[in-house]
Amino acid sequence: MKQRTLAIIKPDSVEKQVIGDIIQRIQNAGFKILGMKYTRLTEAQAKAFYEVHKDKPFFESLVKYMTSGPVVPIALEKENAIEDFRKLIGITDPAKAEEGTIRKLYGTNIERNAIHGSDSPENGEREVAFFFALSELVWNR
């Protein structure tokens, strides 16, 4: 069953100019890009997107980081997209991520970890809808 997931190339990866490298890895892994934008999150947008973490000690730091520079949200589709994308990007802490994963290759630390990926099919749908109207998605079926 095809699933949708959201990737966000984070400010540290944009600053390092590795957007193209990351997109190439995503496409090489068989993901179809349904939508993509280059944008900068407002504080309100970042707080709304990461609301699930609002009671955690790292929330304010995460919001500050995610608004510190441009980001590239990408709506993706693939069979088993959530699990496959999580494997492709690696665990949250780049120092502990598997060799060859996006976070291991491009992440700096647990906060500046290069890329976001949805953690469930439900969140994938919700997160894609946060950044993209249905009319903005291109279906490559």
Task: Give the active site residues.
Answer: 116
Checking 12-16 for CB contacts under 8 A at 24+ apart, the result is 12/106, 12/107, 12/108, 12/112, 12/113, 12/114, 13/106, 13/114, 13/115, 14/69, 14/70, 14/71, 14/72, 15/69, 16/106
CA distance linking residue 126 with residue 131, whole number of Å: 9
